[in-house]
């Protein structure tokens, strides 16, 4: 299976309980979500990274194929102010430019395209048009920080996404958390926004709800259907990267099984395991196999 992954690489500076940790972030977590499976995946990656920071990401970058030259002079550093019961704050040291999708010359070789708007600046609307016009297979987008504007101090704040209908009208799967989903329709409720997204032919709208699990909305036999998994994410700190890991797990499972509700269950459980086990991918795979192969 060959997958195209698009997303910025970010250095995370995680502030939590007066502690500061520097960790790999951004598309790194999505790649972990694809790689834990043990499937024979061939991943092409469109991203950017500095040579100085490459070592932070080398464990996953060594297992993918870069599209074009990934090296840049600067890359985003995101200060994450993580809180126990609130949406985290994000402050960027550097806002990156968009990635060059014109470097992708043959979309026919891919089974799926996975876009994670880590910084919110990965692609522009015209880039999404370009991808959709050249690829009729499944496109998955995690709107992530597309949901946030940027002020003069590079603080990221939630705001209504401009031309939201163009973004969700050109993808097959859309992922957002419970705050991000509300930025896809100004002055609309979550249910109204989901109805609008599904009316344009999107296969599934996935909403992640932190420790409460995740939910998916889709249309089946001309009727809107809702499925949910609520299982506690047991983690000593709020989980950075769980949503990215979840999205890759969902898309990978759907590409192999084409079952929305089962994909939700596998993705939710894999994110829960990631919250507990971190980068121990072999343990995550083992526990997933034990749970789902017994059912």
CATH number reported for the structural domain that contains residue 18 in this entry: 3.40.1190.20
Residue pair 295/257 in contact (Cβ under 8 Å)? The answer is no
Q: What contacts 136, CB < 8 A, 6 or more positions away?
A: none
Q: For residues 206 and 166, give the distance between their C-alpha atoms in angstroms, rounded to a whole number.
A: 18
Q: For residues 295 and 57, give the distance between their C-alpha atoms in angstroms, rounded to a whole number.
A: 35
Judging by beta carbons within 10 Å of its beta carbon (0-12, 13-18, 19+), is residue 215 exposed, middle or buried?
Answer: buried
Cα 232-179-154 angle, rounded to 5 deg: 120
Q: How distant, in Å, are the alpha carbons of 32, 156, 166, 264 from that of 97? A: 24, 16, 20, 33
Q: For residues 295 and 290, give the distance between their C-alpha atoms in angstroms, rounded to a whole number.
A: 9
Q: How distant, in Å, are the alpha carbons of 190, 215, 253 from that of 260? A: 20, 11, 9
3-state secondary structure of 152: coil
Q: How confident is the model at residue 230 (pLDDT cuts 50, 70, 90)?
A: low
Q: In the prediction, which pLDDT does 236 show?
A: 45
Q: For residues 285 and 205, give the distance between their C-alpha atoms in angstroms, rounded to a whole number.
A: 25
Q: How confident is the model at residue 231 (pLDDT cuts 50, 70, 90)?
A: low
Return the higher-pLDDT residue of 294 and 163.
163
Cα 198-199-202 angle, rounded to 5 deg: 40
Is the pLDDT confidence value at 235 over 60?
Answer: no
Q: In the prediction, which pLDDT does 291 show?
A: 85
pTM comes to 0.93
Average pLDDT across the chain, whole number: 91
- Number of structural domains, the chain? 1
**Range with lowest mean pLDDT among 91-95, 215-219, 290-294:** 290-294
Average pLDDT over residues 90-98: 91
Closest C-alpha among 260, 235, 281, 269 to residue 33: 281
Is the pLDDT confidence value at 272 over 80?
Answer: yes
Q: For residues 289 and 295, give the distance between their C-alpha atoms in angstroms, rounded to a whole number.
A: 10
Residue pair 132/141 in contact (Cβ under 8 Å)? The answer is no
Domain that holds residue 206: 2-292
Total Cβ atoms within 10 A of residue 123: 23
Q: In the prediction, which pLDDT does 196 show?
A: 95
Is the pLDDT confidence value at 111 over 90?
Answer: yes
């Amino acid at each position: 299976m060959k997958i195209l992954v698009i997303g910025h690489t970010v250095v995370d500076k995680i502030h939590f309980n007066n502690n500061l940790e520097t960790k790999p972030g951004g598309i790194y977590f999505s790649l972990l979500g694809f790689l834990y499976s043990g499937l024979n995946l061939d991943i092409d990656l469109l991203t950017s990274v500095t040579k100085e920071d490459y070592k932070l990401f080398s464990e996953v970058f060594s297992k993918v194929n870069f599209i074009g030259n990934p090296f840049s002079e600067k890359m985003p550093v995101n200060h994450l102010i993580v809180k126990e019961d609130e949406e985290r704050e994000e402050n960027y040291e550097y806002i990156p430019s968009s990635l060059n999708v014109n470097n992708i010359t043959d979309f026919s070789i891919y089974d799926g395209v996975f876009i994670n708007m880590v910084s919110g600046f990965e692609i522009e609307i015209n880039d999404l048009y370009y991808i959709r016009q050249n690829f009729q297979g499944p496109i998955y987008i995690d709107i992530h920080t597309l949901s946030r504007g940027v002020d003069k101090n590079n603080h990221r704040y939630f705001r209504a996404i401009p031309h939201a209908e163009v973004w969700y009208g050109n993808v097959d799967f859309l992922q957002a958390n419970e705050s991000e989903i509300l930025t896809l329709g100004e002055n609309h409720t979550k249910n109204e926004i989901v109805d609008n997204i599904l009316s344009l032919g999107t296969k599934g709208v996935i909403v992640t709800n932190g420790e409460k699990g995740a939910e998916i909305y889709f249309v089946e036999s001309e009727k809107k259907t809702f499925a949910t998994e609520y299982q506690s994410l047991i983690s000593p700190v709020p989980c950075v990267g769980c949503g990215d890991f979840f999205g890759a797990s969902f898309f990978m499972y759907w590409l192999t099984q084409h079952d929305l509700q089962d994909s939700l269950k596998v993705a939710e459980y894999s994110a829960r395991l990631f919250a507990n086990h971190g980068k121990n991918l072999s343990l995550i795979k083992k526990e997933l196999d034990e749970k789902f192969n017994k059912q």
